[in-house]
């Protein structure tokens, strides 16, 4: 069988199912679970997406590529979902955006789903706003650790970092060299509050990881599935489908250039 290059819209084989998450405050969230085809996953990613007010959703490109590739390439289960009020091709989750307050129930529902589905070795992978949700609400007994992509540390507070420090769970922060909010030098200073935190500078990368998704996925796999060789293959010898990229043409960064970033709401 010929080997085909893995492209941005390549979908590798997996067992995929549409799921619903039900929060403690009565909201129904839509999502998808992708598992390795024909074998048990070696670990699980629960993906927490960027700001929905700025185009963030379960299909934001790094997470879409994770779900389309990592079950086949790394044996990972990938659970992604739309937080409250967020829309994607999968549908619109109930409720409305809560600036990091009501989303605590969304995080809890996702972890609970993964736990009840007997998914192994649950890691939270947050991106931008999703990193704040991870730090604020992800310190759950069922969670192995956290990986943070482009953490702005906008909504989370020192008390949240202190809680992760005290618990000792592994935390890896992938910091783009040219991030819009938090760059490597400052990130090392801020994350010094978590002694076990690993801060990884990503040369050339930017906040949205355009052109660098593969590097981010390699770093994620290194932490959650260290037995899987990296860098991951860039080609695939087997069946491969093609996803529809046109569905996201109106969710580009440029479309939200004039939208204010919400401020944290406090209880």
What pTM was estimated for this model as a whole? Answer: 0.94
pLDDT of the residue at 3: 82
Calculate the average pLDDT of the chain: 94
3.40.50.300, 2.60.40.10, 3.40.50.1820, 3.30.70.20: CATH of 29-227? 3.40.50.1820
d(CA 92, CA 88): 6
For the chain, domain boundaries = 29-227
Query: Which of helix, strand or coil describes residue 168?
Result: coil
- Could you tell me where the beta strands, DSSP code E, fall in the chain? 4-5, 10-11, 15-22, 28-35, 43-48, 76-81, 87-88, 91-92, 122-127, 143-149, 171-178, 197-206, 235-236, 241-242
Strand pairing category for 87-88 and 10-11: unpaired
Write the DSSP assignment of 193-216 as a string of letters. Answer: GSTTEEEEEEEEEETT-TTTHHHH
267 has pLDDT over 50: no
pLDDT tens readout for residues 19-65 = 999 999 999 999 999 999 999 999 999 999 999 999 999 999 999 99
Instruction: Calculate the alpha carbon distances from 73 to 40, 56, 226 in Å.
Output: 13, 25, 13
* Alpha carbon of residue 231 to chain centroid: 19
């Amino acid at each position: 069988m010929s080997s085909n290059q893995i492209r941005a819209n390549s979908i590798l084989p997996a067992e995929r199912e549409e799921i619903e998450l039900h929060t403690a405050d009565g909201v129904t969230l839509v999502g998808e679970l992708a598992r390795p085809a024909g074998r048990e996953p070696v670990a699980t990613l629960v993906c927490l997406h960027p700001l929905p007010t700025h185009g963030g959703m379960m299909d934001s490109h790094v997470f879409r590529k994770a779900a389309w590739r990592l079950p086949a390439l790394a044996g990972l289960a990938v659970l992604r979902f739309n937080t409250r009020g967020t829309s994607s091709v999968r549908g619109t989750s109930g409720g409305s955006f809560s600036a990091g307050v009501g989303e605590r129930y969304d995080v809890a529902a996702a972890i609970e789903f993964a736990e009840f589905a007997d998914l192994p070795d649950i890691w939270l992978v947050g991106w931008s706003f999703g990193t704040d949700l991870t730090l604020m609400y992800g310190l759950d007994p069922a969670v192995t650790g956290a990986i943070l992509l482009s953490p702005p540390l906008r909504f989370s507070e020192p008390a949240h970092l202190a809680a992760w420090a005290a618990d000792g769970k592994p935390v890896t922060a992938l910091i783009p060299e040219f991030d819009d909010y938090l760059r490597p030098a400052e990130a090392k200073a801020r994350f010094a509050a978590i002694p076990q935190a690993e801060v990884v500078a990503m040369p050339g990368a930017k906040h949205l990881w355009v052109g660098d998704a593969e590097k981010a996925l390699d770093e994620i796999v290194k932490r959650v599935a260290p037995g899987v060789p990296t860098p991951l293959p860039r080609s695939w010898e087997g069946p491969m489908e093609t996803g529809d990229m046109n569905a996201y043409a109106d969710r580009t960064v440029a479309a939200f250039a004039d939208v204010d970033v919400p401020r944290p709401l406090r209880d």
